[in-house]
Amino acid sequence: MKLIRTALAAALLAATGFAAPALAQQASAPRNYELGPVVEIRTVKVEPGQLNNYMALLNGVWRKQQEERKKAGEVLDYGIYQPMAGNDGDGNLQLVVVYKNAAAMDTSLDILDKRLNALAGGPEAQARGIVERNKLRTFVGTSLLRELRFTQPPQ
């Protein structure tokens, strides 16, 4: 038992001994990048034969919402993409929104509710919209990416 404790203590000491110089080097080296925009990718699987209908829905409330958020400075860009290759279980459409930064994604619920009520009507109309969208597509998942931007010229 004493041998195991001694071995663990030696391993811990070695690990912290090796980590300390690396941390010191990282702390003293200038960072050569900065945090950029945050990209949200929502992947959906549109039902066969329903792409045109789903695009028509997106051209309504979703597009208006993105344009409003662009005017507010929260969203830099947005788009709809169709993957050209993938697996059978993957989605077949991606809704992409580029946010100014992570904080721009964190709009208060009161503000979001106010905007959505103005664009899509009250809770009953919004519920009907959800039912309609769910007939056309299945939500697959969301990915979040943060761009890292170089702060120095190429070397």
pTM: 0.73
The two structure tokens encoding residue 4 = 């195991």
Specify the residue for token string 């931007």: 149
Interval 58-108: pLDDT, tens: 999 899 999 999 999 999 999 999 999 877 778 999 999 999 999 998 887
Beta bridge partners of 145: 39
The per-residue pLDDT for range 39-52, each reduced to its tens digit, is: 999 999 999 999 99
CA-based R_g, the chain, Å:
24
Least confident range of 13-17, 40-44, 110-114: 13-17
Contact 83, 91 (CB under 8 A): yes
74 vs 130, more confident? 74
pLDDT at 14 over 90: no
| 32 pLDDT above the threshold of 50 | yes
Checking if the pLDDT of 136 tops 50, the result is yes
What CATH architecture applies to the domain 33-150? 2-Layer Sandwich (3.30)
- Residues with Cβ within 8 Å of residue 131, at least 6 apart in sequence: none
**Paired tokens of 44:** 């959906």
Nearest-5° Cα angle at 51, 49 to 55: 150
Contact 118, 94 (CB under 8 A): no
The answer to whether 42 and 142 have CB atoms below 8 angstroms apart is yes
On the question of pLDDT at 141 being above 70, the answer is: yes
For residues 42 and 144, what is the distance between their CA atoms, to the nearest angstrom? Answer: 9
Is pLDDT at 7 greater than 90 in this prediction? no
